[in-house]
Structures are given as structure tokens and as C-alpha cells.
Structure 1
């Protein structure tokens, strides 16, 4: 009889109990005819994106519109023609040039030569037959560019070429040395997946249209990714019930409490794995103001598990005094909470945070969901990094990974028309909230809070979901250790279903949360504004639902109609049909 060491048995038991903790299973089910002819310094697929300033240059903006649009799913790009090539590309370090043989001229070749002299990284994409009768441009430029080719020109060709550049599609044609692997999301709407996408779409359409008709929410965006392939992505309804602006998949939503796992938690994950913080150390250890409070000996682990005994919610806006809020900015009122609503300076520092530290604490160990938990974790993070959390998460994750819209206070970065309005706040800010966080406490904290404040498109949420399915890796880069992701997303509590920061599927099948067909590997979070993300390692699935169910006033119909769970049920039913 073979006796295994106790340590090995422990590791084996951990693996068996965490069957969802497996690396991503990208499955390319579409034919990609893109060939990589020359890959200068292994440029393709493009890696970390925060150092790249990308210009896309085509002979005809309309003709190559599909190509440009698809590139824009992965990174911030600027698109130009050749008429003012030199001036327009001056401030970019990466230039993607695309065209057919008939569209690319000798003069354009000379322009690329100049860009090489100026140390630009050139990626040339040619739509034509690959063969000895058609000379490659790379040798004419001294082999100093990256060159790709596709054997025809069509919308499909443009999409596949664009996805190949970023690793959304693996390049499987041509010389073996120039083949690549998939490293990012693939936008092929379930092509070749074996799933009955049409049937699933009918089910989701019925549920979503019912939700809009019954005024559970004016509009919504629903997205599902399986095995790294986007199998569903669709917008429904309008920004408001006036139906003047239709909802688009590129719209930006207030995520509410999804901010907890997409904003604060990844920052804490990074600090923990680098040894900067210890989850079993205390609030009093990290926060001077907590040392003399009733929270001094509460561990960060208890805080993340919502087992610290904090009060669930403090309605700070109800305690404002006359003069604390005014309709115009001034030297004394610079915290903008909404259009025409400015809070007196330092209210969070001088009133809110001290009040949280003084608030009552119940016995530690029982699960009580509290927003104060993530206020605390934000304070810990900012004290340790000496950087505002909204800036820090952009530096370590959002910009490098290609999350283009995710962030706080979106009105400072995006046009108002792209941001879905939430509540018409008649009691506090007395205005329609457009691009300002719905949560009152987060608004009073300047729009950046540990528990709320984050805005995003569905696409950025999908990127984050895939990173977690990949157990910390995305776009060919590792951002978290696999064991860090496993620890935070797995069940960590003896008294609840929770992970560290993350919510999880309820083990009681009668609760059908988040779906009657979900399983024990599922983790994610919901948001008060009518949002959620659920990640299922067993099925390599990410499900995203974004809505503004709080417009124009808070409504419970999204819950009454069980919209989010029913949509996820429809996706699971489709997956289970092919087993």
C-alpha cells in the first residue's frame, strides 16, 4: 500500500474541493485565414496595452470601418487616413496600416519608411492572396515591420484580421514559427460552438423585452462569454422611458456593488499577494484612527467576509446641515455629487469616516452584509499605496488589460450621452443622475468609494471575468497569482457562502441563486442599480447583466420578475442541451 505524505493529501483534497479552479479553456471553433508573414520582435499578438499609443491608418475610413471598429474592442485607438499621415501619427508609437493591394500605393510605402526612421512600430495588414506573385512589403522595408495577410477582403476578413492582432483569434495558418495562440476575448457570437444560439437568443429576447415592457428597467445590456468566445451580446430598450436614445452595447452603466469585486477587491488581492498587507492583521495595525476605536482588533479577513459586525448602512445624507450642499461650486464646496450639487469640502474626511469608526460593532463572526466593509478596505489600500484607489486600479489592471471604460466619475472622461442615467433624485441631489454615482455615500465621498462608484461597459466586465477564469492571466500577461484568485473567489467563510470580497452561488438549491442551474464553482456579485456579473469556472462561462432599474425611481420589478436569474437559466439550458 502506497502512503502519501500528509502535505500531498492536503493539496489533493484542496484540488478536489475546488474543481472550478482550472485555467481558461480557450476553444477556437472558427476558421481564421489570417497569416502572419513577419513578426518583428514577436509583436503579434499585442501584449500589455498601457504602453501602446495606437494609430490605425487606412486608405478609406468607410471601406475599412469594420476593421477599425473591431480593433477598438480591444484598445483605445485613433483612426486616420493617409492625407496627413506624418502629422497625425506623430504622437503614436504603434501604427496599424491596412489595405488591399489596389488601395496601398508606393507613396504610402515611403511614408512607412519615414515612420521607421522615427522609431514607430509598424503593423501592416494586407487583404490579398499570399503568394510569390504578390511581393511582401516587409522586405522592402528592411524586414523592420510586422506584416499580416488575409486571402480576401470582406467584413469577416476585417474582423478576423483585427482579432488576430490582439490575440482574440489564434493564427493557425502559414509557417509554424508564426502561429499564435488566443489570449483575449473572441468576438464571434458563438460561431462553431455547438450551442443553439438562435434558440437561446429567442429565450433571452422574451425575458428582456418583458422586463422593458413591465418597466423593470428602461434598458439593459446582456453579455455571455464561454471558453473565451462571446456567445451573446445584445442591448435592449432605451436610456429612459421616453425612448429617445436606444441602449447600445457600448453604453456605460453604474455598477453599484459590483464595484466591490471589480474595484476594491483586485487592489486588495494585489497588496495581499505582494505581502504588503496581511489579511489576518487588524484594522488598528493599518489605520491610525482605528487604533482607539471599537474596531482596532478586527481583522481584514473578517472585514472582507462581512463578518466584522459592522452596521449594514449609514444614511449620511440625512444628517447634512443647511449650507452643506449648494447648487454651484465654490472654494468651500468642491465635491461634485451631481449636476448642480456640490458638497462642502472634506465632508468624507471630517464627518463620514470618523462616524464609521465610531459606529457600533456587533459580535464578530456572524455574516452581516455591510457597505462599511469596503470603505475600510479602500482606506487600508490608500494608506499602503499612497495612491488614490481609482488611480491605483487603473495603473495595475484596467489600462494594461484593455478595460477602456471602467473607472470612477465617468463624466470627467466620457460624453454624457454614453452613460446610462439612473435615478431622478428628488430628495437629496434633486436632479437626474447622469454619470454620477447613484449611491449617496459614494457621491458624498467624491464618487470614489470602496463599495460603489465604478462605471463600466459590459465588455470591460467581460474582460475582467475572463481574467478571473484564467486565474490571473489575460492578454499574455499575468496580473495575479493563480492561488490568489483561487483563495479570494472560493468559499472562505464558516458562516456564509462568501469568498473574500466575492459573493458566491448559494448552496441551498431552493434559493436558486444566482440561477436554478448554477453550481458550487460560481462566484461574482450583484449591484443595486440592477447589475451583476457571475463567473462559472466549471463551464468556463462569464455572464453579465447591466441595467438601470432605479430609473426614474427605485423599482423592485427586476426582482419580482426574476429577470437576471431567468436570463442566466436560459444560457445554462443552452449549454446543458449539448451535453
Structure 2
């Protein structure tokens, strides 16, 4: 499968999809911007059609109801996916569908089995109609992927292109790759990591040519082996936040001409005009060449009374389950201290978290909105990144959130769903350098959008030139792009892996995470772990786990040539 500038996918060899699109007069499919429509599934049995429901949920947030339990949410939803065999559409259901259509709701009839090319009697001609002739779970999954653009529709008269990730269920084509052999290699490396207590668990996800080749969870949340890791668990991304939150927002503001890379911090931030950082350009900051301090341990400066175990009117910044920081501490203490911090060796590459604190401040000043709501509105909700965001305890059950460190120095408890990075926690969990949480699937969506040079699901988020600019090498003194880390041309460093190549960009995270994107091979590699549980350990680095898994992927690709 090759990617073309038209931002559609062409499979080679072709993916077999027996789904036919029989009627779509408004060219609605595949579903586009997910923020513009609320979706619901109605079906005779949520159990019988669970495969369709679960597959559709990979793409969009939606509820599913059986015909016997239709709720008011159906009448409020803009798009209704009807998943059933033709014979299961009782007269009362047909009547309801006519009512929904008359109110302007979009009806998509996803027919399982059957051989008729016409709509069921009584339904209006503007209803969208897809059909897969078989009644297997694979057919259900293929039908769901066809609705959202995960599979191209090539059968019948009406064609549609692939616009989103394809989820390989073991029966779809893998383009000559020996996925089973690759998986065995990765399994062995993962087993070694867990046996050596480099991490209690992990998730590995690999996307090649727009198709998910591997998405696998290993181990447990903790070493007590009580809760197994699941592929949809949510991890603390640490510094991957830099490229999945702050940098894409700056890319968006650059592209919309709201920031200029060669303008200065002083130009955008009044508070910076009185500091030694007033003349530091945004480009320099993104390259980590501003001479900023790498890291400031703000928590060491706390005074008695700054943190307490219960929330109160004066202490509402939650650092953990039983730790609350006094209000405005970031604004009154931390940010001024960053602005007053010394500059050393400006022009040289010195990786600095302070750089991305500063870029967040720029983004929020320009947009006049917090980085979190802006990202949710502009990117995450539109593209289908359903778990990505800051402070996940406000949105998800605790058991979906992977614990990190048992913090015995600062917060004095196990961290679960609260950001591991101390500074980000003290910034109310929302920072430019850390604080973002996500599942592997969300990062795969984001990575594929970048591979597509700015488009996903039929929506353009960036111009191709913007993606090329920020992800390519932009420094004369380091390997860095703008915000993005990159392949190191010094092959002795084998970074990010021994077999990677100069097209590769991405980032790693302190908690044991990484995302690497390879345009040459149309590859996205995601590794998520909690290597800092129960306390910080370097075994993941010492055993070179992330890089060896990446090498196993490249070995598989090279063997298929």
C-alpha cells in the first residue's frame, strides 16, 4: 500500500473488502470530522453485533442500543447507524427510521448478509445503504471500517477511499510481512523487560501503510500481577506531550499566521520583556538552543503550608489523591522563576523542559484560551483521539489509568492518573513539556495524520509544508526538528534504533514511552510503559527495550523486500 499526495490509501496487494456502498446520494461516507456529528448505533442485539460496535468505537465515541431499549439519545444524535439483517427490521423500527429521517437525521443502514440491492420497503431514497453479504464477525468489522474509512470500498458501483486506520484482524492482508515472526521477536523482548523488572507492563502498537499490524498489551499494571494491562489503557506520556500537544498547537498557530518562528518570547509575552529571554526566538526555543536551564526542581522550594492533604478554598491544585497545592503557585512562583533563570551557552543544543513551558505560555497568550480546551476542540475531538488529554482522573475510571511512581519524596503516595512530572503537577497538571495522557490507539491516529502530511479522516489539519518543516532537521548543531526529536546521524548512537533511518522523527518520554514515525517505510511505532513504577529505574534503557523492538520491526520489513 502506497500513500499518495491525494491523501488516500491504495493497497498492494489489494485488501479484500466485500462491503458494497449501494446508496449515498449526499456523499456522506466515509464519516468525516467527528466533532460535527454525534453518532449512535441501533441494532436488534448489541451482543450479536458486538464486533461491529467494538470496531466502530475505535474510530468515534458512540453509544449502542438494542431495538428493545431505544433511548432519547437516539433522537438527539445527528447520525444513526442501523446495524441489522434486513429481516430484523420490524415494521415499528422502519416507522421510527422514517421519523428520524424526516427530522433531518442521517440514517446509515449497515446491512449484514442478504443479496438485495434495494432499500427495505418504506425507507426514503436518501438513506445511506451499505451491505456486506456474509454474516461473520469479520464482515461486521469490515462493514464498520468501511463506514469510517478504515477500509476502501472497491466492490460495486460506488467507490470510496481509505481515510483512516485499518485494523488488521488477522484475516486482512499484511503486504508480505511475516507479522507472526515479528510478533514472536517482540514477545521475547517484552518478556525479558518484565522478567528483569524494567517495567511491569507495556503496550506495543505498529502501523504500516495505514494498517495496524500489531497492537498488543503485555504484563500487568503493577508487579503484584493483579490487573492485566490492556491495549486501550491510558498512560502518562511524559515528554511525548511535547510533540502530541504543544508542538502541534504551535504548528497550527504558525500556519494560521498567529505566530512567527523568528519572533521572540518578548514579543508574545509581556512578562518576558523584562527578562533575559526577551530576545529569544520561538525557533530557538523549539530547537532547545535558547540556553535555558534543562530542569528546575520546583518542588524542592515548597514551604510549610504550600501543600496540604485536603482540598480547601486556598488549596485547589490537586497533585495526587491526597496532595493539594496552594492556588496560583505556578503563576506567582514557578513561571517568574523560569523567566529569571540564567541563560547559558545560547545557540548550543541543551534539551530543556523550560523551553516547552515557555511555548505553552506563548500558545495560551495568542489563543487567549487554555491549551487543553483548545486542543480538545481543534484536534483531539475532531480526529478521534478519545483518550488524549490532561488530568485524566476527571474523565476516566481509575482502573484504566496506568500507575507510575510511588512518590515517597514529594506527594507521598502512589501516582495513578496524576502526572508523574513534579513541575507539570504543580502547574495544575497542564504543562507544555509533560502532563498529557493517552492510549496507544490515539497516538497511532496522530502518527498516521503526520505520515499523511496533515490529513486524516478526510479532514486537513496541517498543510503538508508545515509538517515537513517541523519534522525535518532544522538545526546545524543537533539532530532536532522544531519540537520533534529525530534520527541521529551519528550511527554509533543507534538512535532511536540501530536500523532506523534519516526520515524518522518522534519523541521519547521519561515514564518509558516513545512514538517514532518513519515516512520512508510509512511506519508508526508506539511503545507505552510505566518503567518508573514503583520507583524510577534505568533498566528499560540498560536493556535497550524500545530500540530493540523497533529493530525487530525493521528486520521484518527488510526480510520482506
TM value normalised by structure 1: 0.94
Is 2:30 the counterpart of 1:30? Answer: no
> Any stretches of 5+ residues in structure 1 without a counterpart?
1-19
For residue 123 of structure 1, the aligned residue among 99, 108, 112 is 108
Q: CA deviation at 1:255?
A: 0.2
Contact 1:189 1:232 in 2 (8 A): no
Q: What is the alpha-carbon distance in structure 1 between the residues aligned to residue 329 and residue 319 of structure 2?
A: 12
Contact 1:252 1:455 in 2 (8 A): yes
Q: What is the alpha-carbon distance in structure 2 between the residues aligned to residue 512 and residue 294 of structure 1?
A: 36
For residue 70 of structure 1, the aligned residue among 49, 52, 55 is 55
Q: CA deviation at 1:40?
A: 3.6
Is 2:259 the counterpart of 1:277? Answer: yes
1:339-361 alpha-carbon deviations (Å, 9 max, x no partner)? 01100000000000000000000
Is 2:544 the counterpart of 1:559? Answer: no
| 87-96 vs 419-428, greater mean Cα deviation | 87-96
Q: CA deviation at 1:464?
A: 0.4
Q: Give the corresponding residue for 1:293.
A: 275
| 496-505 vs 426-435, greater mean Cα deviation | 426-435
Contact 1:32 1:170 in 2 (8 A): yes
- For residue 36 of structure 2, give the secondary structure of its aligned residue in structure 1: coil
TM value normalised by structure 2: 0.97
Q: What is the alpha-carbon distance in structure 2 between the residues aligned to residue 474 and residue 141 of structure 1?
A: 32
| 28-37 vs 263-272, greater mean Cα deviation | 28-37
| 358-367 vs 82-91, greater mean Cα deviation | 82-91
- For residue 223 of structure 1, give the secondary structure of its aligned residue in structure 2: strand
Q: What is the alpha-carbon distance in structure 2 between the residues aligned to residue 189 and residue 153 of structure 1?
A: 16
Q: Give the corresponding residue for 2:182.
A: 200
Is 2:560 the counterpart of 1:575? Answer: no
1:19-41 alpha-carbon deviations (Å, 9 max, x no partner)? x9978673434200001111141
Q: 1:336 to 1:453 in 2, by over 3 A?
A: same
Q: Alignment length, in residue pairs?
A: 555
Q: Give the corresponding residue for 1:8.
A: none
Is 2:71 the counterpart of 1:91? Answer: no
Matches within 5 A, 1:480-491: 480-491=462-473
Q: CA deviation at 1:101?
A: 2.7
1:122-155 alpha-carbon deviations (Å, 9 max, x no partner)? 11111123336xx522x63221211111101111
Is 2:135 the counterpart of 1:173? Answer: no
For residue 214 of structure 1, the aligned residue among 171, 187, 196 is 196
Q: What is the alpha-carbon distance in structure 2 between the residues aligned to residue 573 and residue 79 of structure 1?
A: 42
Q: Give the corresponding residue for 2:89.
A: 104
Q: CA deviation at 1:86?
A: 5.5
Q: What is the alpha-carbon distance in structure 2 between the residues aligned to residue 74 and residue 101 of structure 1?
A: 25
Q: CA deviation at 1:266?
A: 0.4
1:495-553 alpha-carbon deviations (Å, 9 max, x no partner)? 00000000001101111111111000000000000000000000000000000000010
Q: What is the alpha-carbon distance in structure 2 between the residues aligned to residue 161 and residue 442 of structure 1?
A: 42
Is 2:288 the counterpart of 1:311? Answer: no
Matches within 5 A, 1:248-287: 248-287=230-269
1:478-501 alpha-carbon deviations (Å, 9 max, x no partner)? 110100000000000000000000
Contact 1:443 1:453 in 2 (8 A): yes
Q: What is the alpha-carbon distance in structure 2 between the residues aligned to residue 249 and residue 79 of structure 1?
A: 22
Q: Give the corresponding residue for 2:36.
A: 51
Q: What is the alpha-carbon distance in structure 2 between the residues aligned to residue 205 and residue 479 of structure 1?
A: 35
Q: Give the corresponding residue for 1:392.
A: 374
Contact 1:24 1:469 in 2 (8 A): no
For residue 410 of structure 2, the aligned residue among 425, 428, 442 is 428
1:405-444 alpha-carbon deviations (Å, 9 max, x no partner)? 0100001111111110100111101111110000000000
RMSD of aligned C-alpha atoms? 1.4
Q: What is the alpha-carbon distance in structure 1 between the residues aligned to residue 78 and residue 116 of structure 2?
A: 30
Q: What is the alpha-carbon distance in structure 1 between the residues aligned to residue 90 and residue 4 of structure 2?
A: 52
Contact 2:24 2:126 in 1 (8 A): no
Contact 1:189 1:229 in 2 (8 A): no
Q: Give the corresponding residue for 2:46.
A: 61
Contact 1:21 1:471 in 2 (8 A): no
Q: What is the alpha-carbon distance in structure 2 between the residues aligned to residue 497 and residue 488 of structure 1?
A: 12
Is 2:166 the counterpart of 1:186? Answer: yes
Q: Give the corresponding residue for 1:332.
A: 314
| 112-121 vs 515-524, greater mean Cα deviation | 112-121
Contact 2:8 2:163 in 1 (8 A): no
Contact 1:469 1:535 in 2 (8 A): yes
Contact 1:491 1:499 in 2 (8 A): yes
- For residue 377 of structure 2, give the secondary structure of its aligned residue in structure 1: helix
Q: What is the alpha-carbon distance in structure 2 between the residues aligned to residue 40 and residue 453 of structure 1?
A: 44
Q: What is the alpha-carbon distance in structure 1 between the residues aligned to residue 169 and residue 70 of structure 2?
A: 35
- For residue 336 of structure 1, give the secondary structure of its aligned residue in structure 2: strand
Q: What is the alpha-carbon distance in structure 2 between the residues aligned to residue 202 and residue 417 of structure 1?
A: 28
For residue 429 of structure 2, the aligned residue among 421, 428, 447 is 447
Contact 2:218 2:229 in 1 (8 A): yes
Q: CA deviation at 1:85?
A: 2.2
1:303-355 alpha-carbon deviations (Å, 9 max, x no partner)? 00000000100000000000000011000000011101100000000000000
1:373-423 alpha-carbon deviations (Å, 9 max, x no partner)? 000000000000001001111111111111100100001111111110100
Contact 2:43 2:83 in 1 (8 A): yes
Is 2:480 the counterpart of 1:498? Answer: yes
Is 2:215 the counterpart of 1:233? Answer: yes
1:243-262 alpha-carbon deviations (Å, 9 max, x no partner)? 11100001000000000000
Contact 1:24 1:227 in 2 (8 A): no
Q: CA deviation at 1:119?
A: 1.9
Contact 1:220 1:548 in 2 (8 A): yes
Q: 1:158 to 1:403 in 2, by over 3 A?
A: same
- For residue 205 of structure 2, give the secondary structure of its aligned residue in structure 1: strand
Is 2:142 the counterpart of 1:160? Answer: yes
Q: What is the alpha-carbon distance in structure 1 between the residues aligned to residue 478 and residue 505 of structure 2?
A: 13
- For residue 125 of structure 1, give the secondary structure of its aligned residue in structure 2: strand
Q: Give the corresponding residue for 2:303.
A: 321
1:82-109 alpha-carbon deviations (Å, 9 max, x no partner)? 1242534122111101111332222211
Q: Give the corresponding residue for 2:517.
A: 535
1:62-96 alpha-carbon deviations (Å, 9 max, x no partner)? 11001100000000010111124253412211110
> Any stretches of 5+ residues in structure 2 without a counterpart?
none
